[in-house]
Amino acid sequence: MAEANLSHVKEFILLGFSDLPNLQNILFGIFLYIYINILIGNGLIIVITKIDAALQTPMYFFLGNFAFLEICYTSVTLPRMLSDLWTHNKNISFLACAAQLCFFLILVVTESLLLAVMAYDRYVAICKPLYYTLIMNHKVCVQLVVASWITGLPILIGQTFQVFSLPFCNSNILNHIFCDMPPLIKLACGDTSWNEVLLYGVVVLFGFIPFLLILYSYVRIFITIQKLPSVVGRSKAFSTCSSHLMVVGLFYGSGIIAYVQPKTRYVTGIEKMLSLFYTIITPMFNPLIYSLRNKDVIEAMKKLFSK
């Protein structure tokens, strides 16, 4: 009888910003502007790290890959949001929703791991400078980037399959801006406590542990910087880390808060704002953070524009 009362959901309705009907066109313009800025800003980072000879170092190799990841990461959610705002069609198929969630999770985890790799690169450069070129050779850098992309694949694909195996009863209205894990678990009927436990496990494994590794790397870095005899040397060493620290704070701060909320404490408005922050706002500001606080990047951009 319980199974008979369950209806198979073939599509979801993403409410998005439907509670703001008079602002749909304005929101479309704002998000389109943000998306163009993300593509141009991160695209410039990719170009200059490829063509400028002064930026052919592991740090900028990781930065170029990070910029490419930001474009992919934003493109999973933002074009769909723009389409919904323009056409006012909120429907998304079951398969498209599952694909969006799967790619989104893979890219989020990749970004988390890549941020940890970038922190490790700074740790080796500052704490073990004599061994830097030996440890961070090109082969190792490529392996670290590839590992960041593929490490979480099996777990995240399995996590997506498990979420979409849940019964969604008679409701297919997803009060969110894209297909994300917390609102989908909230929408499911029955006991989802096990799914919440697994979600927290993924957050700990691919969010909290990399964050602790980053924190440990920077504790060691700051201890080493304090021992440098020259004030100029300390300032230069810290400047190479400050941009990365700001990006880490923006990404982990909003992302972890959004994902550690249990279903019983889920607040839709706050969740939407946090999701906007770590999926759109952070990728838009990252190129600015890295360019405005990095003299090498500024010089490379001047050379590029002068040509």
**Structure tokens of 4?**
């008979």
Average pLDDT, the chain: 84
Q: Annotate the chain with DSSP letters as a single string.
A: -TTTT-----EEEE-TTTT-GGGHHHHHHHHHHHHHHHHHHHHHHHHHHHH-GGG-SHHHHHHHHHHHHHHHHHHTTHHHHHHHHHH---EEEHHHHHHHHHHHHHHHHHHHHHHHHHHHHHHHHHHSGGGHHHHT-HHHHHHHHHHHHHTTHHHHHHHHHHHTTS--TT--EE-SSS--HHHHHHHS-S--HHHHHHHHHHHIIIIIHHHHHHHHHHHHHHHHHHT-S-HHHHHHHHHHHHHHHHHHHHHHHHHHHHHS--GGG--HHHHHHHHHIIIIIHHHHHHHHHHHT-HHHHHHHHHHHH-
**Low-confidence winner among 90-104, 202-216, 217-231, 288-302 (lowest mean pLDDT):** 288-302
Is residue 19 over pLDDT 80? no
* Per-residue pLDDT reduced to its tens digit, 147-163: 999 998 999 999 899 88
Domains of the chain: 11-306 (1.20.1070.10)
Stretch 35-54: mean pLDDT: 90
Q: How far apart are CA 188 and CA 300, in angstroms?
A: 50
pLDDT at 139 over 50: yes
Highest mean pLDDT among 97-111, 191-205, 234-248: 97-111
Confidence of residue 76 (pLDDT cuts 50, 70, 90): very high
pLDDT of 219 reads 92
For tokens 């190792």, the residue is 140
173-174: strand order across its sheet: 91-93, 11-14, 173-174
Per-residue model confidence (pLDDT) at position 4: 39
Query: What CA–CA distances, in Å, run from 37 to 33, 43, 62, 179?
Result: 6, 9, 21, 24
Q: Is it the case that residue 88 has pLDDT exceeding 80?
A: yes
Residue 293 has pLDDT above 70, yes or no: no
The mean pLDDT value for 268-276 works out to: 73
Q: Is the pLDDT of residue 192 over 90?
A: no
Backbone angles phi, psi at 168, to 5 degrees: -105, 10
Confidence at 7, pLDDT banded by 50, 70, 90 = very low
Rounded to whole angstroms, the Cα distance separating 238 from 226 reads 10
Residue 64 pLDDT greater than 50, yes or no: yes
Question: How far apart are the C-alpha atoms of 15 and 4, rounded to whole Å?
Answer: 27
CB-count exposure of residue 125 (10 Å: 0-12, 13-18, 19+): buried
Cβ 185 vs Cβ 92: under 8 Å = no
pTM: 0.88
Q: What pLDDT, on the 0 to 100 scale, is given for residue 106?
A: 94
pLDDT at 264: 47
Q: Is the pLDDT of residue 27 over 80?
A: yes
Give the pLDDT band of residue 1 (cuts 50, 70, 90).
very low
pLDDT band at 276 (very low <50, low <70, confident <90, very high): confident
Mean pLDDT of all residues in 198-217: 89
What is the distance between the alpha carbons of residues 81 and 187, in angstroms, rounded to a whole number? 20
